[in-house]
Structure 1
């Protein structure tokens, strides 16, 4: 029986909870799409919470190391030996790898979910940026396939490591916890959210550009309420987002009754907020993995973004791109001009297109691509 093992322990950064939730959804999809006589394995560190799976095709295996030890230990050759002869995939760069012979049956696919370690290293701690680059460099040497979530990241890696680098682009999918749940309405009520609002994950720094949203609200008093979700985006080190209460206190006094700040401590709260929004605002100057953006599209919520290449690849015609604050504010006001309600307004058209775009994302689709990739290695 062939088994595709999934590294469930993610790279230790702000996206780790979303990556872990995504790994849970992906292993279910790997099991449901497994060819005959094939199965899935969910690899966890010692001390991590082991989820229960309904599928008999999924085995959970606990590694003899704690998650805090993995970033250092997995940079050595010895720790990769237990995966000799295995098919293994990781949804982050953190994966044990070493040189192997061509005929030992080992297959490894490693995901590089974004290019921040090269394009915007100030959004990671110095240690995180170095660690990402080290794991990616190791994957370039030893992995069979590098998986990226966008063509822009794939191009960056090939420019750095050679155009013969084996790269496959597989767009990410939002973890189920970031989508609407049966209790989403109750969660929004508990958070005190209005019936109609826009949502953003932007931060209060020069990369997060939350001030673009402030400027748009100040320029148009008719725009809907804005909900800012904290914790789903990186921040400029030492200059970025403070705790939720402090960020809320930094909102301009004249806008405080039009903005609500919500912490993403519970990803289901974030999912309830995103799925109930009318529009997602992404003024950021960077693109991470893009889980919140995809969650919006899968929830039929269009996206107004700043035109970053990787974000544009995810959104396509499910939103609009405006690369400067004036254009961003103008587009926002234009979208919320009173419409005739017959489906002909720009906002209504974008909502339909966002729903169409959102239907293209599925964990089953990712799983099929992984099985096919390993079948051809």
Structure 2
């Protein structure tokens, strides 16, 4: 009997989270590449969408757009989806009553971060309510809840009664993540200095990064800054001892621009201790960029020996070493650690998960 794994690809037409959308595509490609004999991969997509991932066996195109599906599934209405084995690379899943024992229906969902609980002020109220509501539905109806780190597996139980249904499946850098041939032109277009470190984290945490950049006497480039936040972050940098002209605030960049920026960076500093998959740190390691990260369960799980995971008051000293005497060693460690993660490996674990269920 053939086995079909149906993947929810909800961001085919409307990208809500670029990192999660890319992860869903890369994971799906990995599922196709690692499918056991007799198994195939199908897609469930919103109305108006089209799947451009080679190898998808069949597509279930629903009658509603993504926004309408999100609202419908939040209240447990999922017409036209059908049963079988369903994997959602996010919390966007048809979480309704089903019979895994007799009908062989399964639903697994993925939680990439716990910001809706740990830092709700960083999200819209609507998004917070949706995330929390969908995790409650997952607690009632999901056969498995996938998280990317063991630290998150321990934390998520504080917000939902999931018992032994939590599984850990790590993410990976985007497939083909590499600096483009026109990296220099891209950095010039972004008005970046010749020497800089990249910072990522919440505004409340970036002070540590700015202070470390000032101690290392190097410019700082902030990625993924929210629209309109540049004046606030520039003032924060100045208060931390880094002149405004040396703080370069940038918003969301496309994959090629990020690769160009990270490849040329002297170091990457991760200042957020939130329970969330560290997308940028993973990309930085793939570029063999020295890593300095604030101590947290997620960073200990993901970065581990691939970088310096230190207390907040030790970030400055760690960065001075990473961009100085310890740079060569730090680059080797980061690159070696990045090799431990791949979407093919993640896909194999998803296949095993559904086999176990």
TM-score, normalising length: structure 2: 0.88
After TM superposition, give the deviation of residue 163 of structure 1 in Å: 7.1
CA-atom RMSD, angstroms?
2.7
- The gaps in structure 2 that reach 5 residues or longer are none
Return the match for 1:362 from 342, 347, 352: 342
Say which SS state the counterpart of residue 364 (structure 1) adopts. Answer: helix
Say which SS state the counterpart of residue 230 (structure 1) adopts. Answer: coil
CA distance, structure 2, for counterparts of residue 41 and residue 182 of structure 1: 35
Return the match for 1:292 from 265, 280, 296: 280
Say which SS state the counterpart of residue 165 (structure 1) adopts. Answer: helix
Say which SS state the counterpart of residue 223 (structure 2) adopts. Answer: strand
CA distance, structure 1, for counterparts of residue 77 and residue 56 of structure 2: 29
Residue correspondences, number? 351
- The equivalences for 1:208-357 within 5 A come to 209-221=205-217, 224-231=218-225, 241-243=226-228, 246=231, 250=235, 251-252=237-238, 255-324=243-312, 326-337=313-324, 339=325, 346-357=326-337
TM-score, normalising length: structure 1: 0.83
Q: What CA deviation, in whole Å up to 9, does each residue of 1:181-235 have, x standing for no partner? A: 44444322332334442111234x32xx2222222233343xx33221124xxxx
CA distance, structure 2, for counterparts of residue 247 and residue 162 of structure 1: 39
CA distance, structure 1, for counterparts of residue 128 and residue 55 of structure 2: 38
- The equivalences for 1:82-97 within 5 A come to 82-84=81-83, 86-97=84-95
Contact kept in structure 2, 1:83 and 1:106, CA below 8 Å: no
1:104 aligns with 2:71: no
Residues 1:272 and 1:218: Cα distance change in structure 2 (over 3 Å): closer
- The gaps in structure 1 that reach 5 residues or longer are 232-240, 340-345
Contact kept in structure 1, 2:44 and 2:81, CA below 8 Å: no
Contact kept in structure 1, 2:60 and 2:81, CA below 8 Å: no
